[in-house]
Amino acid sequence: MTDNVKSQLIIILDTNPVWWGHKPSSHTKAQQKMTLTECLNSVMVFAHSHLMMNHSNKLAIIAAHSDQSVFLYPKNDPTVHVISEADEVTEGTDGKYELFNQVDKQIKEGIKNLIDNCMNGQLYPDSLVAGALAMALCHINKTERSHEEAGILSSRILVIKGSEDNTEQYMNLMNAVFTAQKQNVVIDACVLDNESGLLQQACDITGGIYLKIPQMKGLLQYLMWVFLPDPLERPKLTLPPKVQVDYRAACFCHRNLIDIGYVCSVCLSIFCAFSPICGTCQTTFKIFGPPKGVKKKSKKLG
């Protein structure tokens, strides 16, 4: 990597309490499920490794929870510069690099607050990944702009997810994905449990890696080997082969994933059943029935 390219990593961690609290007994594979604490430890080591690759590398971690998405690090979003100031502090009291202490402390506090607060609210089995992606993109936009004079900042997003997809988020997620594609932001996905058709599409569109890890206990190894190298370095590596992407779209009427549907010729909305009026843009379709005479006429002309 050239010296003036810095790498920014945004980790979106699925902290859904329903999925993390769920006993793995229902799964036939019965592989040992890791706890959220074990997962956090792996993510923190991975985050340290990213920061160690280059001392100007940037990091942000967002928790995608069941009812909200929050920045775990950096704690106050506007204090992006605190990271670079902290770079100057070399060693903490226990000999640990001070920046790592800060990262770990903020992540742990953030998770604790999330878990404490969510006991009052309602719990959903899916996480707000689309919202977290939008937050990540805003953060990237801001940091890249404020970083312009200091060289190029290459940003990528890694989603670590275990809970199920929610097709209700299809529209928002796709909007975020196409924005990422426009901004040249790669989206990677490290899937812990349920295959995610939506993330498969997100990775395919932005040129990222989608990997459903075969063993949850090996999370750290997969993170280090597959997701640590910057996208610029990846062509030199032998990485897991591309997955077959589930390219079904969700219909706008029921948010079901469908193979074949009806598309409005004006606004390109997708519907699972025919309706004479487009539910999105209110266009009225004229129905003439199948064009019977067309073939005969064209033959005569020819």
The 3-class secondary structure across 274-289, one letter per residue, is CCCECCCCCCECCCCC
For residues 124-183, which are near Zn ion according to CB under 5 A? none
Instruction: Kindly tell me which of 52 and 281 has the beta carbon lying closer to Zn ion.
Output: 281
Segment contacting Zn ion (CB under 5 A): 90-98, 211-219, 248-256, 286-294?
Answer: 248-256
Q: How far is the CB of 177 from Zn ion (least distance, A)?
A: 21
Confirm or reject binding of residue 254 to Zn ion (CB under 5 A).
yes
Question: Of 151, 218, 281, 285, which one interacts with Zn ion (CB under 5 A)?
Answer: 281
Distance between CA 117 and CA 158 in Å, rounded? 25
Confirm or reject binding of residue 263 to Zn ion (CB under 5 A).
no
Confirm or reject binding of residue 280 to Zn ion (CB under 5 A).
yes
Residues contacting 263, CB < 8 A, separation 6+:
269, 270, 271
Confirm or reject binding of residue 251 to Zn ion (CB under 5 A).
yes
Instruction: Kindly tell me which of 103 and 249 has the beta carbon lying closer to Zn ion.
Output: 249
Q: Among the residues of the chain, which ranges form H helices?
A: 17-21, 36-53, 81-88, 98-118, 129-146, 170-182, 197-206, 219-222, 294-301
Distance between CA 57 and CA 285 in Å, rounded? 53
Question: Of 217, 266, 275, 297, which one interacts with Zn ion (CB under 5 A)?
Answer: 266
Contact 67, 128 (CB under 8 A): yes
**Parallel, antiparallel or unpaired: strands 5-14 and 257-258:** unpaired
Confirm or reject binding of residue 80 to Zn ion (CB under 5 A).
no
* Number of helical (H) and strand (E) elements in the chain, helices listed first: 9, 10
Instruction: Kindly tell me which of 162 and 261 has the beta carbon lying closer to Zn ion.
Output: 261
Site string for Zn ion, 207-246 (x = CB under 5 A): ----------------------------------------
Question: Of 253, 257, 262, 270, which one interacts with Zn ion (CB under 5 A)?
Answer: 253
Question: Of 1, 89, 267, 277, which one interacts with Zn ion (CB under 5 A)?
Answer: 267
Q: In the numeric block, which tokens belong to residue 159?
A: 């989603």
Confirm or reject binding of residue 115 to Zn ion (CB under 5 A).
no
Confirm or reject binding of residue 249 to Zn ion (CB under 5 A).
no
CA distances from 165 to 118, 175, 191 (A): 20, 16, 11
Segment contacting Zn ion (CB under 5 A): 52-60, 185-193, 224-232, 279-287?
Answer: 279-287
Segment contacting Zn ion (CB under 5 A): 5-13, 20-28, 134-142, 271-279?
Answer: 271-279
How many Å from the N-terminal Cα to the C-terminal Cα in the chain? 62
Backbone angles phi, psi at 273, to 5 degrees: -135, 155
Confirm or reject binding of residue 250 to Zn ion (CB under 5 A).
no
Q: How far is the CB of 289 from Zn ion (least distance, A)?
A: 21
Confirm or reject binding of residue 277 to Zn ion (CB under 5 A).
no
Which residues contact Zn ion by CB under 5 A?
251, 253-254, 264, 266-267, 269, 272, 278, 280-281, 283
